[in-house]
Amino acid sequence: MKNRFLLLIFPLFLYSESLDEIVNLSIQNKLIQATQYNNKALVDSYQSTKNSYKPSLTIGSSYSDARNETAMYPNSSLTSFATLNYTIYDGGIKQERFNSFEENIKGANKNLDSLKNKISLNVIELYFNYLSSLSLKDAYLKQIQTLTTQKQRLEKFYQAGITTKDEIEKLESKVESVNVLIHETELKLETILHNLEYLTAKNINIKNGSTIKETIGDKTNRADIQSLEHSAQSLKHIASMTKAKNNPMVTLDNTYYSYNNNYDNDAYDLLDDQNIFKLNVAWKIFDFDTTNKSYQSEYKKYLAVKSQYEYEKQKADVDYKLAKKAVAIANHKIRSAKLALKSSNSTFKIIEQKYKHGLVDNIAYLDALSSKYDAIAKHDGAKYELEIKKAQLIYHSGKNVWEYIK
């Protein structure tokens, strides 16, 4: 309510979201909701399957009217019945089916975690790329400001006949070049905001200041790898379920009948009710190897997914090692960028003074100016790149990325 009240007082554009707020919006989007509904549907299907193995009771009735009465067919009759069915043993199919469902549910939950993690990482990358691009735009604007100041200075010199027109034109050309870079950067910023809108279903205004926590912990399998492992185990149970069809099956049926027969001939009216109990045993002993071939087919599906799981797990281990190296390199980049920034600032101050006194030409000045603002942009970019690399390391270590935002 407080936020809504503030939005009524201040324009909407004044409100901006932190990284944590943007991620929270993104992991509640429609894609996540659709996955959650599918997972709930799977749980309901499992419960329905479990209930189908419980005893079932069926009741019914039928009415008949015979044109010619016999001992079997009365003039008219009403028959009611109640049947109890129960599968005592199905060869082990039930337990394998239950096991398969449980693995699928675990896999679906891990798949949801994986989807949230991937979206969170995507948002984090967009967030810091936005800040990096914003810093680059700021550097370009400051560069234009400096160039404009120098251009105004040269124009005075030109009017006094101290400098030539081409000196001013070179600065104007540089300003136009930087303006093009600004427009390109603004397009990138707008594209990032649109991508965030896709993920959050909301117009996003980014608030600076969020970072990613440092973490060096034990690595676990990523959620998508765990989901694949559960899928493999589910297929293994399906294969066992197929094989179990060759085992004996024992079922129980008990039906109670109530007869209300209307005989014209009283001699035909023999029964008022009847109860029939059946204990059934069935054992498929030969089917031309159909069941075995079906089992082999399902088992090969399990082996295929198991091989895929092992491949993805090995690939994930490599990705984790590379992510650790990427964080180390990003830290080195920051240190290098700091030194480069310090050096370029010092160089620019010297060149600027010499340029003002006519000791160097504008080419040397423009090079020094570009180097200075490039160094500023690279330094800021290196800081934001480190945050992205930290998030990628957390992702590849199997942890929930959104839990490490501060």
Q: How far is CA 323 from the centre of its chain?
A: 19
Which tokens hold the place of 293?
């071939």
The reported pLDDT for the residue numbered 269 is 61
Identify the three-state secondary structure at position 143: helix
**CA–CA separation, 239 vs 218, rounded Å?**
35
Would you state the structure tokens that stand for residue 375, as one six-digit string? 């160094």
**Domain 18-65+75-212+221-313 listed as CATH 1.20.1600.10:** yes
Is residue 293 predicted with pLDDT exceeding 90?
yes
Extract the tokens encoding 241: 């379920």
What are the pLDDT digits (tens) for 45-67? 999 999 999 999 999 999 998 88
pLDDT average, residue stretch 297-314:
95
More confident residue, 5 or 382: 382
pLDDT at 263: 75
3-state DSSP assignment of residue 209: coil
Q: Give CA–CA dist 292/246, Å, rounded.
A: 9
What local confidence, expressed as pLDDT, does residue 222 receive?
94
Q: What is the pTM of this model?
A: 0.84
The pLDDT value recorded for residue 4 is 43
CA-wise closest residue to 387 among 375, 404, 371? 404
Whole-number Å distance between alpha carbons of 273 and 275: 7
DSSP code of 228?
H
- Round to whole Å and give the CA distance between 281 and 63: 33
Distances (CA, A) of 68 to 63, 259, 267, 301: 16, 19, 15, 61
Is it the case that residue 369 has pLDDT exceeding 80? Answer: no
Residue extents of the structural domains in the chain? 18-65+75-212+221-313
The predicted model gives 13-17 an average pLDDT of 63
Nearest to residue 344, comparing CAs of 382, 373, 383?
373
Mean of pLDDT values over 302-323: 95
Task: Assess whether pLDDT exceeds 50 at residue 157.
Answer: yes
31 pLDDT above the threshold of 90: yes
Rounded Cα–Cα distance for residues 341 and 82 (Å) = 89
**Angstrom distance (rounded) from CA 402 to CA 406:** 9
Residues linked to residue 279 through DSSP beta bridges, in sequence order: 252
User: Is-contact 255 81, C-beta < 8 A?
Assistant: yes
Q: Does the structure show a pLDDT above 90 at 3?
A: no
Residue 10 pLDDT exceeds 60: no
pLDDT tens-digit map of 66-93: 888 887 778 888 989 999 999 999 999 9
pLDDT higher than 70, residue 401: yes
Residue 122 and residue 128 in contact, taking contact as beta carbons nearer than 8 Å: no
